[in-house]
Amino acid sequence: MANVIIHCYYTGPEDAVCGFIEEMLDSGLRQEVLDEDGCLQYDYFFSAEDKTVGVLLERWRDDTALSKHANGTPMAKLKEIKARYDIETRVERYVLKE
């Protein structure tokens, strides 16, 4: 099995990026994702120099777990929250081979 790493970059006005990440943490949604089968990491970070950039680092056991997450309830809730903020998303996907 190969772990899948996702880097999500959220960009936009500082208040929007910070508000989105704060809401994700305060809503308990981060913990819901961490509780999903196969989720090994789900952590938000800010750029040290520029808070118009937020980064989400995800690590999943395998593609099956990531696919289930992508089609699950927590992802639908994330999309609802994100829609309230003026931010854009760029996603990078990496596979760690054993």
Supply φ then ψ for residue 2, to 5 degrees: -120, 130
Tokens 């699950």, located at residue: 72
Q: Looking at the predicted structure, is the pLDDT value of residue 59 above 80?
A: yes
Exposed e or buried b for every residue in 18-43, given b needs 16+ CB within 10 A? bbbbeebeeeebbebbeebebbeebe
Mean pLDDT score of the chain: 95
> What are the structural domains of the chain?
3-96 (3.30.70.100)
pLDDT tens-digit series, residues 36-45: 999 999 999 9
Closest by CA to 5, choosing from 52, 65, 47, is 65
pLDDT tens-digit series, residues 1-47: 789 999 999 999 999 999 999 999 999 999 999 999 999 999 999 88
